[in-house]
Each structure stands twice: as C-alpha cells, then as structure tokens.
Amino acid sequence: MNVQIESASNDLGTLDEQQVQRIRRKSISVLVAGQILGGLGGGATLTLGSLLIVSISGLDSLAGMAATMNTLGAALMAIPLALMAQKHGRRISLSSGALLAASGVVVIIAAAFLNFWPLLMLGMLVLGTGAAMNLQSRFAATDLSTKATRGRDLSVVVWSTTIGAVIGPNLFEPGEVIAKYIDLPPYTGGFLIAMCAQLAGALVYWIGLRPDPLRIAQRQALGRPGSGQPRRGGWHILRSSVPSRRAVLTVALSHMYMVSMMSMTPIHMQHHGATLTLIGFTISMHVAGMYALSPVFGWLTDKCGSRVIILAGQALLITASILVWTNSADHVVTTIALLSLGLGWSASTVAGSTMISGAVGINERPQLQGTSDLCMSLAGVLGGLCAGPILATIGFQGLALVLLALAVIMIMLNIKSSTSETIHE
C-alpha cells in the first residue's frame, strides 16, 4: 500500500477515490502521532514556564506571562503557518512549525543560564509556534474529508491532544533529574523533553505526510467550478462570507468563555479554602471535558450538523455559569461546572471548526483556518486579561453572569438557518 501511495504522489492527477481515502487515513494517523508529541511538549512547559519566570525575575506578578506569551506566539504564527501550508503544503508547514517551537526551547534554556527573564519571554513567544501548529493539525485532518466524515476526522486529532496534555505534567520530576545530571538550570529539564518531542514531531510530519494531503486536495479540486478564481485572504473571506464569519466568531467566543472562567477558578477555589489537590482535580476534570469526548461531538456534528452541536455546546457553557452563580462556594458544584465548561468548549470548537472547514473551497481553506486560529488565540488572551479585573470587581459569580453575554451572542449567530449557505465537499 505504501508503494501505491508513494507512486500516486508522483502523479496526483491519476488518484482514484480509493487511493485518496487510503491517503486520508494515513495522514490522520500521522497527525494524531504529531499531535500527541506536540501536546506532550505543551503539557510539560506551561507550568514550568511560570515557575521559571518567577525564579529568574523574583516577581510573582509575572507568573501568568508564560501562558500569555505562549498564546501570543500562537496568534502571531497562525497566519504565517497557514500561508506556508497554502503555498507548500501541510508537510512543510507543520514540520517547520515544530522546528521553530524547538528553537524556542533553546532560547528559554539560554535565558535560564543568563538569568535574563526578558529573553525567557521571547523564548516562550517562539515556543507558542507549537500551539499554532497543533491548532493547524486539526484542520489538516479535514483536507481530504467529505462532508460525511469531516467532523469525526477533525475531532480524532483534537482528542489525541489529551494524551500529551495528561502525560506532560508528569514529566516534571524526570525532567529535573535530567537537568541536574547534565548541569542545566532548575525548571529547564521539562523544556528539554519538550524540545525532543517537537523535534520528533517534525520528523513524523516530514516523513509521514507523503504525499501531502493538502496538495492532493488542491490537485483534486482542479477543474471544479471556481477553481480558477483568485484566492482571497482570510479577512476578505470573513467580510464576504456569512457562514465563515459565524463559524470563526463561534470558535473565538467559545474559547474566550472557557479561558475566562477556567483561568479564575484556581484563585476562586483557593480563596474558599480548597487544597491544591482539589484544585488540581477540578482542572483535570475540566481538561477531560475539553478533549475526552471530542470524537463523540465530531460524530454528532457529521450526523446532526454543526449548528445543532454548537447550540448544544452553548447550553453546556450556560450550565457552567448557572452552576457557579447558584453555589460557587461548593467545591463539588464548581468541579461539575468546570466539567460542563470543558464539554461546552469541546462541542462548540469541534462543530465550529468543522463549519470553518466546510465554509469555503480547498483553495481558500488554509487562509480562513489561519485567520480563525489567530482570532481564537487573541480571544483567549483577551479573556484571560479581562477575567482578573472582573473577578476582583464583582467576584466569581459575577464573572459567570457576565460570560452569559457571550453565549447569547453565539446563540443568536447560529439560531437562524440560511438557505444561501454552501457546504464545500
């Protein structure tokens, strides 16, 4: 079969449907492997980044900057990686993103040796390329999908993030043993593991994505109506396409909702006497909600349609807010609320991303996907920055009620059906 696929890659115009589906399944397997490695790197570094920044700077107020700079890096690289994919294919884009993320680790370790925290911030920014690459991977899974399989293909790659995200934090201690053995500064061993994971991911993408699924999809699209039209940029697509605008806003606002509530939960629980173990369990349940059932939401999206699952996701987000508002002092209620928050994010993000992949043809899809990832990352940054002052002013319950406005906007965006919308195969 590998011989057939490699032969097909040399003559993409002769691919039949059976060959395309074999390449589709192979590509998804490669993307899952790369996503696990990418999640491993991310899971091992964000918490260590906070500890390292405080250790070098001596300022507790900078602890949150590790996640902020990582997210900003993901936002800055979203469109460049998408443009690279559009021009050179997913193989080049994803492997380059992994290599760039690995170079960020080199900068971070150098900053730790120099005891210079501004350089550490730069390293975290570059490392954010890995997050942008992971976001692009879920879209890459849909390059050769049809309308009937798009949600499931995307959600399987999203789900695979769970493995790395769960394993990553457990590598703190082994990482520190490695760091001590080779005389690295404290809190840098986990970053070394992340660098190795990103380098392995780059190799997986470089070798595994042959033939390139996006290039095949582009070649298959030749001759279809509209294939010769000029390609629009992502922002132009958003201005002219209602389905694209609706889908991108849904994904971005759902992410803002999740980040705003999730980021303030540990502070709220600590103020109400929760132990670190209980706080950790609550966040673990939240992460499980975000990823564990994503294949189910992908299957439901294919069966019921993106809009139905998006509305179900908003119902789960609203449930989280109502639970917090009614009894936020109860740690069990808060844990259930965070689980509901994760499930709502999962349903909305999987269905919204599926809608994005079907809103335009393959020749414009990477541009729209990159713009969506940019908006999603920036929304997360904005949510995290605004949540703190809101919490300080009106409390956790007040924050939960304010976030309901985002759900109302998303429901209004998706409640009306439009017969003019086109779904691209």
Q: In this predicted model, what pLDDT tens digit does every residue of 232-269 receive, in sequence order?
A: 777 888 888 888 889 999 999 999 999 888 878 877 88
**Average pLDDT of the chain, as a whole number:** 84
Q: What is the CA radius of gyration of the chain?
A: 21
In the predicted model, is pLDDT for residue 271 greater than 90?
Answer: no
Q: What is the pTM of this model?
A: 0.81
Query: Are residues 81 and 156 located together in one domain of the fold?
Result: yes
Query: Are residues 193 and 240 located together in one domain of the fold?
Result: no
pLDDT at residue number 298: 92
**Could you give the CA distance from residue 76 to residue 55 in angstroms, rounded to a whole number?**
27
Query: Are residues 190 and 238 located together in one domain of the fold?
Result: no
For residue 205, name the pLDDT band (cuts at 50, 70, 90): very high
For residue 11, name the pLDDT band (cuts at 50, 70, 90): very low
Query: Are residues 42 and 191 located together in one domain of the fold?
Result: yes
DSSP 130-165: HHHHHHHHHHHTTTT--TTTHHHHHHHHHHHHHHHH
For residue 168, name the pLDDT band (cuts at 50, 70, 90): low
pLDDT at residue number 54: 79
Number of domains observed in the structure of the chain: 2
CB atoms within 10 A of CB 416: 8
What CATH number did the domain enclosing 318 receive?
1.20.1250.20
Longest dimension (CA), the chain: 65
Q: Over the stretch 301-331, which tens digit does the pLDDT of each residue have? A: 999 989 999 999 999 999 999 999 998 788 8
**Of 218, 251, 268, which residue constitutes the final position of a domain?**
218
* H helix or E strand, kind and range, residue 385: helix 365-415
For residue 146, name the pLDDT band (cuts at 50, 70, 90): confident
pLDDT at residue number 2: 46
Query: What is the extent of the structural domain holding 387?
Result: 234-415
Query: Are residues 266 and 153 located together in one domain of the fold?
Result: no
Calculate the alpha carbon distances from 36 to 89, 162, 204 in Å. Answer: 21, 8, 11
**Of 218, 245, 262, which residue constitutes the final position of a domain?**
218
pLDDT at residue number 277: 74
